[in-house]
Structure formats: C-alpha cells, structure tokens
Amino acid sequence: METRNITELDIHSDPFQIAGRTLSSRLILGTGGASSLTTLESALRASGTELTTVAIRHFSAAGAGNVYELLQRNNVIALPNTAGCFTARDAILTAHLAREALETNWIKLEVIADEHTLLPDPLELHAATEQLVADGFQVFAYTNDDPALAQRLQDAGVAAIMPAGAPIGSGLGILNPHNISTIASRAQVPVILDAGVGTASDAALAMELGCDAVLLASAVTRAHNAPLMARAMKDAVRAGRAARLAGRIPRRDTALASSPAEGMMQTLVGDFS
C-alpha cells in the first residue's frame, strides 16, 4: 500500500509519470465509438484527458480534418494502438507503421486471441513485446488480468501494464478485483486498468485497487450523453485515487460504532460510584 502524505487539495496536482512523461490526468480515453468528431471533441474536453489511444489501422494519419488533428489542437497525446491485430507479426508491423506515421515510439500493444472474446493472446503478446522493446518502443501492453503474465511482461521491459477489467466493450466492470490489485501491488511500472469499464464506479474501483490510471472508450463514447459521462469518469478517477491514498478502513464482519462506547460507559460508571 502506497503511503504518501497528501491532502485533499494536493490530489489535483498528483502527477502521473509514464514512459518518461508527466501527466496530470490519470484518465486515458480511447477514441473509438463516438457518433461524430464533434461529440468526441466535447467528451475529450470534459474528461480532462491528456492521452488518448487511436487505432492506427482504422484511422489513417494522412490528410486533414481527421482525429489526429482534433487531438493536436486539444493538446492531447495520441497513443497509437494495434487494435485489429491477431498475430505478433501483424502487431509488430503495425507498431512500426505507427512510429513512422505519428513519429512516436509509444505503442499500445494489443494482440487479440479471437473475435468472440477479444481477449489478449498471451503468447503472441509476449513475443511481440520482446521484439518491440528490442526495436526501441515504449510498449504499453494490453494484457489479461493474470499476475504471472503481468510479471513476465514487466521482465520483458514494458513501459506500462494494462490489464483488462473485463472483455473489451462488455461494460462488465472489474471481474477479478483481487487479480488487479495483485498486479498493481507487484508492479514496478505503471498499471493502467484497460477495458471493461461500464460506468463511473468501475473507474473509481480500479483506482482504489491501486491502479495508476484508467483507460476507457466505449463507456464514454457510446453513452447517451458522452461529454457528461466523460466528466463523471474524470471525477471517479480522482475520487478513486484519493480514496486509495487516504487509506480505507479494514473490512469487518460485525458492526463497530463510530463513536467509542466503552469510554462513555466508564465515564458514566465513574460518575455514579
């Protein structure tokens, strides 16, 4: 458990160090799923995010008026991802194309096992990580909520571990909170909860479990009112982070009154004896 001396006011200047950069927001937004660029832009602004993921295979960096231009004018960093890749080979190729097109060595590495679950393929993921780290990339690895795999990815040199709370787009929240907290407690690199967030409480829980940041897309971009949900996520991530730093009370099976009853009884007894 992280113990830091932090006050309520300091939480708003609680920097997030990631791959050599310092961000003030711990909410990372994905860009997929918005009904229009105008809606996406409003949501990005409401979220206060400084980092977003973009599927480089779906959004060409060429030309004007595209999502990259939108991110640039809002001072939001584009983190390219390898969404849509099913083999290490395709993911490595996509990462190199992204580096060329966007002039960044950051890559969010997704190697999907199958279209039904969209869960990561651990073997392909590890193979691609090894190669991309050797090629000089800062690898943000989208992984299962498996602490052992998370450890192996860290050993392979990732810049961040991004465990799934639940399958992509499912909105099921965090299905195995214990694994997420185990990953967070053992990690030497930032842990970013990725995928599965459905609503604000899921994002808050991720931070309470010890994650350093939360990445979400559909929960905001496909909400009826995307900017309002973005604002809710911003508040939830802050609240969860503050609760984590504040240190929660232990869980107990029986009640314990908030005002101490024992002392009161002794005082009363003393008065009448």
Catalytic residues: 108
Helix (H, G, I), strand (E, B), or coil: what is residue 142?
A: strand
Of 63 and 260, which has the nearer Cβ to another protein? Answer: 63
Amino acid at 187: A
> How far is Cα 70 from Cα 259, in angstroms, rounded to an integer?
54
To another protein, the closest distance from the beta carbon of 36 in angstroms equals 5
To another protein, the closest distance from the beta carbon of 199 in angstroms equals 14
Of 73 and 252, which has the nearer Cβ to another protein? Answer: 73
To another protein, the closest distance from the beta carbon of 144 in angstroms equals 21
Do 125 and 141 contact (CB within 8 A), yes or no? yes
Integer angstrom CA distances of residue 239 from 71, 104, 199, 247: 26, 31, 14, 12
Of 84 and 177, which has the nearer Cβ to another protein? Answer: 84
Question: Comparing C-alpha atoms, which of 241, 113, 214 is closest to residue 167?
Answer: 113
> How far is Cα 97 from Cα 100, in angstroms, rounded to an integer?
5
To another protein, the closest distance from the beta carbon of 253 in angstroms equals 36
Q: Phi-psi region for residue 193, left (φ > 0), alpha (ψ -120 to 50) or beta?
A: beta
Enumerate binding residues for another protein (CB under 8 A): 35-39, 41, 57-60, 62-67, 70, 73, 84, 169, 223-226
